Structure 1
Amino acid sequence: MAPCTEKEDELITCEGSIEKLIAPQANKRKHQIVYMNLFTFGYWYIAGLYGLYLFFTSTKWSTIILNIFLIIASGLGITVGAHRLWAHKCFKAKLPLQIILMILNTLAFQNTAITWVRDHRMHHKFTDTDADPHNATRGFFFSHVGWLLVKKHPELMKRSKHIDMSDIYGNPVLTFQKKYAFPLVATFTFILPTVVPIYFWDESLNNAWHATVFRYAYNLNITFLVNSAAHMWGYRPYDKNIQPTQNIFTTLCTFGEGFHNYHHTFPWDYRAAELGNNYLNLSTKVIDFFAWIGWAYDLKTVPADIVNSRAKRTGDGTDLWGGNHKHTLDEKENRELDDYVHKSAF
């Protein structure tokens, strides 16, 4: 997900019956460009590349190290906060942890968490159809960044009101972020990361600002990979009938969010990753740490036998790394798996 300048009240709903959308689906349409977004993203990309150039020529090591730390911290604001805690309710968090995650989520600036959650719930309910904000059926560029450069699809606008957001609008931490979005974003996303290197180790304004822009643009694009690459290239060990995949490159870039075939099969699992691969999953380790100190609790998981049964039943016979494994599933296991999934699905 990512920042978008369209107003939320433009997401209207049409009354009456709504036809079911079957993925993959993308009807022909004429895209209407949002020129402000086109200009904004164009600046982030050009200035970010210049910031990367400065990393190799004149930026101080202290500034580079700071921005690497901020890349990781802001990424966790998306993966742990917006995604696993608020969008999927994979675990519960006490107030101090929610405040920390809200600040880290603000640092990432992919719109407010409320908007991020709404779009992500639409993505899961209508995956790879015209009601999916970043419908991967339209190709890599659209699902990666193009969806933010054009007007939202009418199907998305029509169906958005059917997404239950009562838990999110009832969260005072997230409503605070939304109410004070401009000063929070200005402060945490851009001003502080620029001022700190200038004040503490005499970095130049040019280097400090463009390092900040690079960090911001980099964070956007590693998140975009989950929307694009992880819906196109990779393996489908858990459900070969859906588009999301297990994408190795995305997994390495996003602190554990590239196990996407697993995640779309079991979206309520706080690990968001297949069995045996949590050592690649920094987000899971962070949640485990906060569970250890008592700030995170009620962590939802999927029993190993259920995961393996689903792989046997609907998987493509591979794992994340492409290894083959053959399975059979008897009728009783099929019934037990169906019962579990229907009771647990998001």
Structure 2
Amino acid sequence: MAFWKSTRALLGRVRWFSLIILISTPALSLYGLRTTPLRVQTLLWVNVFAALTFTALSHVPGITAGYHRLWSHRSYKASRPLQYLLILMGASAVQGSVYWWARGHRSHHRYTDTPLDPYNAKRGLLYSHIGWMLVRPAVRPGHADVSDLRNNDIVQWQHRWYFAIIAVVGFGLPVAVAGLGWGDWAGGFYYAAMMRITLAHHVSGSVDFSDRDAHYLGETPFDDRKSAKDHFISALLTMGEGYHNFHHQFPMDYRNATKWYQYDPTKWFIAACAALGLASHLRTFPENEISKSELTMELKKFKKVQDDIRWPPGLEELPVVSWETFQRQAEERPLVIVSGFIHDVGEFVERHPGGEKLLLKKVGKDATAAFCGGVYDHSNAAHNLLAMMRVGILLGGVEHVKTVSPGETLRIVERMF
């Protein structure tokens, strides 16, 4: 009884329209490959349509520049003609209306990696890639403010007529071009429509690929506390959306990548629209804050390296001894003073580059002047190595208070509040 009850509950959460689309499009694509020859004209049309898919006038900028950066994050303002273009091309990806899509995406950003995140990466790659489209989450996604979308007449027009729109731009247009152009209705259906939508869902990278799968692959140059990552391959497949760690840190920036060599054609598309007067108010995050986040992660990496290195004993670990005690102990072992610290150079005498005698002459004496340029201006490596030989602090010595080895000078310390 409990089994059937849980089964009925699960079936009640299935998104049946999405399930039909996600099963039928690849199945029909495979059937078309087996039964319908690919004509030259259709191949050219598919290539043109695919080129449009990865460049300006297709569903990819419709999703990346429209659904994602314009309506989900309000990273710029678009003119009405551009909004209509983006909303139609976005609909051709068959990923839901802007209103539905952006609401989920805002919730994802607000509640990343929690049960309230509708694409929660912690539920596994399969779920975050496509499972969320097939099954409604058991926990209602966290609240997101969509009042701006509710008041946008273009967004509401698409939401109201969504199924009719996708029938035209998602299925009808690619089939009609091939059918009316050279009589290949079947090829247009199987290749330009079904196969294109299949690729759009799984490869071409609408933000769905980037925003979910980019939580698994790549690096975290800005913040490693969340799962979002930067990955060049994802960026190639997703019109630049693969720089996801940056995006989660600076979501209202119209760019997903700031370096000139990083692949982000959606950014270039938006900038081109701005140059043509179709877009305005392009938002960017202060470069100082971006650099600060990058430096934070670099310091964190260096901190891990630093923690694996053995460092000289701290002041609190060393005994404080008088000059007389130092003199007496120096008769028993080779001790020298440099900058107020007492060093035992016994194991280093034979390896001293200047020779044993030069070093032994300073035993029982203050060698600060000689070590720091009076005889030879020693290198950073020499200062670091000498610091590892510390065994005490000279009572009344003042130099040691301000003198640390070069390695310690830049040592990263975690501040505890």
Could you say which TM-score interval applies, normalised by the shorter chain? 0.7 to 0.9
Alpha-carbon distance in structure 1 between the residues aligned to 2:37 and 2:111? 43
Alpha-carbon distance in structure 1 between the residues aligned to 2:135 and 2:96? 16
* Selected match of 2:288 from 277, 290, 305: 305
| Aligned pairs for 1:1-346 within 5 A | 32=11, 34=14, 36=16, 37-50=18-31, 57-58=38-39, 60-72=42-54, 73-156=58-141, 159=142, 162-203=143-184, 205-211=185-191, 212-221=193-202, 222-223=205-206, 224-278=208-262, 280-314=263-297, 317=301
The alignment's TM-score, normalised by the length of structure 1, stands at: 0.76
Alpha-carbon distance in structure 1 between the residues aligned to 2:219 and 2:102? 26
Equivalent residue letter for 1:310:
S
- Which residue in 2 is equivalent to 1:21? none
Deviations 1:263-310 (A, max 9, x none): 0011011012243344x1111111111111111111111232221111
Alpha-carbon distance in structure 1 between the residues aligned to 2:162 and 2:109? 25
Task: Give the deviation of 1:48 after TM superposition.
Answer: 3.2
Alpha-carbon distance in structure 2 between the residues aligned to 1:164 and 1:62? 44
Alpha-carbon distance in structure 2 between the residues aligned to 1:214 and 1:126? 34
Deviations 1:46-87 (A, max 9, x none): 223445678985463322223313423110000000100110
Deviations 1:137-190 (A, max 9, x none): 11111111111222322242xx3xx31111111111111111211221111110
More moved, 145-154 vs 114-123: 145-154
Q: 1:185 to 1:39 in 2, by over 3 A?
A: closer
Given that 1:52 and 1:214 are in contact with CA atoms closer than 8 Å, whether structure 2 keeps it comes out as: no
Q: 1:100 to 1:39 in 2, by over 3 A?
A: closer
| Aligned-residue identity in percent | 30
Deviations 1:217-259 (A, max 9, x none): 1112223321332001210000011100001221100110000
Given that 1:309 and 1:329 are in contact with CA atoms closer than 8 Å, whether structure 2 keeps it comes out as: no
Q: 1:126 to 1:217 in 2, by over 3 A?
A: same
Given that 2:69 and 2:75 are in contact with CA atoms closer than 8 Å, whether structure 1 keeps it comes out as: yes
More moved, 61-70 vs 179-188: 61-70
RMSD: 2.6
Three-state SS of the structure 2 residue aligned to 1:231 is coil
Alpha-carbon distance in structure 1 between the residues aligned to 2:20 and 2:153? 33
Number of residue pairs aligned between Structure 1 and Structure 2:
288
Q: Which stretches of structure 1, 4 residues or longer, exceed 6 Å deviation after superposition? A: 52-56, 328-331
Alpha-carbon distance in structure 2 between the residues aligned to 1:163 and 1:303? 25
Given that 1:131 and 1:153 are in contact with CA atoms closer than 8 Å, whether structure 2 keeps it comes out as: no
In structure 2, list runs of 5 or more residues that go unmatched. Answer: 1-8, 303-409
Equivalent residue letter for 2:197:
Y
Equivalent residue letter for 2:74:
K
Alpha-carbon distance in structure 2 between the residues aligned to 1:147 and 1:243? 17
- Which residue in 2 is equivalent to 1:20? none
| Largest Rg, 1 or 2 | 2
Bigger relative CO (Cα 8 Å, ≥ 6 apart):
1
Alpha-carbon distance in structure 2 between the residues aligned to 1:42 and 1:216? 11
Given that 2:15 and 2:136 are in contact with CA atoms closer than 8 Å, whether structure 1 keeps it comes out as: no
Deviations 1:7-47 (A, max 9, x none): xxxxxxxxxxxxxxxxxxxxxxx955627343432112222
Given that 1:236 and 1:244 are in contact with CA atoms closer than 8 Å, whether structure 2 keeps it comes out as: yes
Alpha-carbon distance in structure 1 between the residues aligned to 2:60 and 2:136? 26
Given that 2:211 and 2:241 are in contact with CA atoms closer than 8 Å, whether structure 1 keeps it comes out as: no
In structure 1, list runs of 5 or more residues that go unmatched. Answer: 1-29, 319-327, 335-346
Equivalent residue letter for 1:177:
Q
Task: Give the deviation of 1:112 after TM superposition.
Answer: 0.6
Equivalent residue letter for 1:116:
W
Q: 1:276 to 1:202 in 2, by over 3 A?
A: same
Task: Give the deviation of 1:216 after TM superposition.
Answer: 0.9
Equivalent residue letter for 2:179:
I
The alignment's TM-score, normalised by the length of structure 2, stands at: 0.64
Given that 2:216 and 2:227 are in contact with CA atoms closer than 8 Å, whether structure 1 keeps it comes out as: yes
Task: Give the deviation of 1:110 after TM superposition.
Answer: 1.1
